[in-house]
């Protein structure tokens, strides 16, 4: 591993510990020019080098270079809060990303970043550095540790950290034991919403949300922000999160989330996160039940908005949907058509730099998070930071996240409902039929079409984020939902005499709501969960297709979610950059129910010539395995169809139930699959 790669890793290790402090068990010392040290240390630079440099085995020398003017970054204080939902702070981060990406080579970028690291807000710096490393082609061998590694207090109860430090300091490496993270410890069982804590507070789920926004930042250079179908991915990824959450509610016999469409009504759900905001070294504020949103007037936090401002933005967005076009800043009409309309809307609602008219349509999604995130102290009267809804790493823990995004998805669905139902030509695949389709657990003698979920205990190494803490492995054990590995078997008949190519699309859809009422397809389509999508070649006659669950186009494996990144395990490091984007594999299936939860397993083979966007891609290389939610790196999204096809639009009037829909097309299959939850805990081997 080169000194440049090691240097970048040191920048991301123990992010609030001075850079000159030796890293990796004291073996690596960053030799900085004295003027690069923070002012506090410049007059003792020689003593620092003599003390710390003498014990380190390896020195990385940082050469002085011409530095950008970082004065703009002062608007985010080093020891203050940083919030990407606040427009001015997001803009500051965008400038920092541009400054890092704009350096001529990795060595210069390392030098500039080494100067900035201990001067700027650590959360903003680590975010900007991660975005720059992910998007520069010449830093492709540098892995980006997850925020769990860098800022573990945002994911794990801080009450555990004294125990973790004690274990690390008092016990030699190799003899340390894991510290147990309490399971679902943020509220008692008397709170009905606590039944869903295993989903909302799952570490992998929250890492997915953070990493998706890392790959798809709202601001920065155009080559960073302007990715293919970025706005549509924002819509679809969040739609799938909302669908998955509501399916979990059905599994727990709980009603759908109530969309947060009236910002003036009390919010009945309380939430007390019991997490530490690592920027302020304070716990995130909680929210009591039945609190009411108001304005937010915190200019020092770049957070100023009113309910009226959001209502005005929402009204203009709905007006655009009803009229079928959005108004660009120059007055031209941008059509919200069936091909690109959802992409335009996604960028407009999220308020990325790709929005066609920020001054007119405003900043609905981000300011919605701001309004909820500061509900406890809207005027900064009590000097409290934002709540968990105020940032990507923690927002999904709050029940209000799903209510707000259910409402946002309702807005997107207004556009989808205006589009005509898919016709027979768009849905059929002449000459191709699914003869049989089943799903089965791959271990032991399992019944067909019955899937199994259970609890699993997993260890994660938090040593990288313990500033001034013990070196080496410091491990915590947490409990999460898991599913037994399974596989699909699909028998497809190609009636033609020629080779065909098709796209297999697999979705899981709840059949019944929380009250046991069967869902009509027009309702069910909003809660279908994508499980997989892949391309197959179909030779004439019978084709037997086997697809394993761990090959899903939605998920990334455990190792890419939780593996610790440091200088000792750099092999295959490319897999830990863009490739960290993806839904965690252990959350692929809903929890199910102890009595068994029935689902429609929908499988469709569509005609690849109608799906292809260019040359084929290999899903097994270059981070392509989780493209359904994350797209492809430096490539077009590998499917011409709308994301969520064929369920993104309303069904035709004759398709009341899933059976009606599938029964009209030989290239579709509907199987009832049961997800059985067993309340046992199994340790990961």
Catalytic residue list:
350
Q: How many angstroms separate the first and last alpha carbons of the chain?
A: 30
For residue 331, with 0-12 CB atoms within 10 Å meaning exposed, 13-18 middle and 19 or more buried, which class applies?
Answer: exposed
DSSP class per residue in 433-469? EEEEEEEEESSSSPPTTEEEEEEEEEEEE-GGG-TTS
Token reading at 180: 């147990």
Say how far apart CA 418 and CA 269 lie, in whole Å: 33
Say how far apart CA 187 and CA 397 lie, in whole Å: 12
The dihedral formed by the CA atoms of 163, 169, 171 and 175, expressed in degrees to the nearest 10: 80
Residue among 397, 466, 387, 436 nearest 605 (CA): 436
- 44: helix, coil or strand? coil
- 114: helix, coil or strand? helix
Q: Token pair 């608007």 is at which residue? A: 75
Residues, the chain:
685
Say how far apart CA 211 and CA 642 lie, in whole Å: 23
The dihedral formed by the CA atoms of 121, 126, 131 and 136, expressed in degrees to the nearest 10: 110
CA 338 to each of CA 354, 418, 420, 437, 454: distance values in angstroms, whole numbers, following the listed order: 19, 9, 9, 31, 41
Q: How far, rounded to the nearest angstrom, does the alpha carbon of residue 425 sit from its chain's CA centroid?
A: 35
Say how far apart CA 328 and CA 312 lie, in whole Å: 17
**Residue 29: in which H helix or E strand, if any?**
strand 28-31
Q: How far, rounded to the nearest angstrom, does the alpha carbon of residue 84 sit from its chain's CA centroid?
A: 14
Token reading at 225: 């922000």
Token reading at 615: 């040359």
Say how far apart CA 364 and CA 350 lie, in whole Å: 7
Asked if 450 contacts 676 with a C-beta cutoff of 8 angstroms, the reply is: yes
The residues with which 28 forms a beta bridge, in sequence order, are: 23, 58
């Amino acid at each position: 591993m080169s000194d440049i790669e090691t240097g970048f890793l040191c920048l991301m290790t123990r992010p609030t510990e001075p850079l000159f402090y030796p890293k990796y068990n004291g073996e690596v010392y960053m030799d900085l020019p004295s003027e690069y040290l923070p002012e506090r240390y410049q007059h003792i630079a020689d003593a620092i080098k003599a003390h710390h440099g003498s014990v380190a085995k390896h020195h990385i020398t940082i050469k002085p270079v011409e530095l950008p003017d970082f004065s703009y970054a002062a608007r985010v204080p080093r020891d203050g809060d940083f919030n990407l939902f606040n427009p001015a702070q997001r803009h500051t981060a965008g400038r920092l990303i541009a400054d890092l990406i704009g350096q001529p080579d990795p060595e210069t970028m390392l030098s500039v970043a080494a100067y900035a690291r201990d001067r700027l807000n650590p959360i903003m710096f680590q975010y900007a550095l991660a975005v720059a490393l992910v998007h520069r082609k010449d830093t492709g061998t540098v892995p980006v540790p997850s925020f769990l590694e860098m800022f573990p207090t945002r994911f794990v109860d801080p009450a555990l950290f004294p125990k973790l430090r004690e274990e690390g300091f008092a016990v030699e490496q190799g003899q340390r034991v894991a510290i147990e993270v309490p399971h679902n410890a943020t509220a008692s069982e008397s709170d009905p919403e606590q039944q869903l804590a295993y989903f909302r507070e799952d570490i992998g789920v929250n890492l997915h949300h953070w990493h998706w926004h890392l790959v798809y930042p709202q601001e920065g250079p155009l080559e960073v922000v302007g990715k293919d179908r970025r706005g549509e991915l924002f819509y679809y990824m969040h739609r799938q999160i909302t669908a998955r959450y509501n399916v979990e509610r059905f599994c727990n016999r709980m009603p759908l989330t109530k969309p947060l469409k009236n910002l003036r009504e009390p919010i009945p759900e309380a939430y007390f996160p019991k997490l530490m905001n690592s920027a302020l070294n304070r716990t995130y504020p909680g929210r009591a039940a039945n609190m009411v949103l108001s304005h937010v007037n915190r200019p020092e936090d770049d957070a100023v908005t009113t309910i009226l401002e959001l209502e005005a933005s929402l009204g203009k967005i709905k007006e655009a949907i009803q009229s079928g076009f959005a108004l660009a800043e120059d007055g031209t009409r941008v059509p919200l058509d069936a091909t690109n309309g959802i992409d335009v809307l996604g960028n407009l609602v999220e308020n990325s730099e790709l929005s066609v008219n920020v001054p007119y349509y405003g900043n609905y999604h981000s300011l919605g998070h701001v309004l909820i995130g500061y509900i406890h102290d809207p005027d900064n009267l009590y000097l409290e930071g934002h709540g968990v809804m105020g940032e990507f790493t923690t927002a999904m823990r709050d029940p209000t996240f799903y209510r707000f995004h259910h409402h946002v998805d309702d807005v997107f669905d207004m556009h989808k409902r205006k589009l005509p139902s898919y016709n027979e030509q768009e849905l059929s695949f002449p000459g191709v039929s699914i003869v049989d389709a089943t799903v089965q657990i791959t271990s032991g003698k399992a019944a067909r079409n019955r899937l199994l979920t259970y609890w699993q205990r997993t260890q994660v190494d938090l040593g990288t984020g313990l500033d001034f803490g013990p070196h080496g492995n410091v491990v915590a054990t947490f409990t999460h939902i898991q599913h037994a590995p399974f596989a699909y078997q699909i028998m497809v008949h190609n009636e033609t005499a020629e080779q065909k190519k098709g796209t297999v699309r697999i979705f899981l859809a709840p059949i019944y709501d929380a009250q046991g009422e069967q869902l009509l397809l027009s309702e069910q389509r909003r809660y279908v969960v994508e499980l997989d999508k892949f391309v197959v070649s179909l030779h004439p006659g019978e084709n037997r297709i086997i697809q394993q669950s761990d090959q899903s186009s939605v998920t990334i494996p455990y190792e890419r979610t939780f593996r610790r990144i440091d200088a000792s395990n750099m092999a295959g490091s490319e897999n830990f950059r863009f490739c960290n984007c993806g839904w965690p594999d252990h959350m692929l299936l809903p929890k199910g129910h102890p009595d068994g939860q029935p689902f429609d397993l929908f499988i469709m083979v569509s005609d690849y010539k109608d799906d292809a966007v260019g040359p084929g891609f290999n899903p097994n290389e270059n981070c392509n395995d989780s493209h359904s939610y994350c797209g492809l790196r430096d490539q077009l999204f590998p499917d011409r169809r709308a994301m969520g096809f064929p369920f993104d639009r309303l069904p035709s009037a004759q398709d009341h139930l899933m059976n009606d829909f599938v029964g009209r097309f030989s290239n579709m299959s509907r199987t009832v699959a049961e997800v059985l939850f067993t309340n046992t805990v199994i340790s990961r081997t």
